[in-house]
Amino acid sequence: MSIFWKGKSTSGVSHWSYEADSFMELYNWLLKKGIVNTVDYDPYEKAVAENAGLDYDAVVAEVEEASEEDGDFGKHWEEMLTSKGLDGSLTDEDFMLMISGEDGNAYYQSFAYDKDFEHELEFNAKGKLIDKEF
């Protein structure tokens, strides 16, 4: 099953499209292309923290303080997740909402099951993408 994404800038000058096998693949492609902006914060980390009901800025401050000595933010981020009983994962629906919320470069975005964008994505009650073929 594929996920089709397309986006364009508010001016309409820039257009992008991508077919991915997963939301993680799509997210990584958007990062690589600079379509998702990570200058001010990491959208993935922010979504994980907020989905767990945590204040993202407070968590980042805590992790930055813990990583001052060795400079390994990633290690301390993982330790923070573990200490709070979190695994750092997002559901498919969470991923889609996170990506669509990062609209600084691609203000207009669409997600679909098909390249003609005739069939919108659907999720089950647990946020998992429902497998459909068209």
Query: With b meaning 16 or more CB within 10 Å and e meaning fewer, what string describes 18-45?
Result: bebeebeebbebbbeeebbeeeeebbbb
Residue 129 DSSP one-character state? B
Domain spans of the chain? 3-112
pTM: 0.80
The number of angstroms, rounded, from the C-alpha of 12 to the middle of its chain's C-alpha atoms is 23
pLDDT digits (tens, 9 = 90+) for 74-91: 899 989 888 988 888 899
Cα separation, 101 vs 75, in Å, equals 27
User: How many helices and strands (H and E) does the chain possess?
Assistant: 5, 3
Mean pLDDT of 108-123: 91
Per-residue pLDDT tens over the stretch 17-27: 999 999 999 99
Please give the pLDDT value at position 40.
79
To the nearest whole number, what is the mean pLDDT of the chain?
89
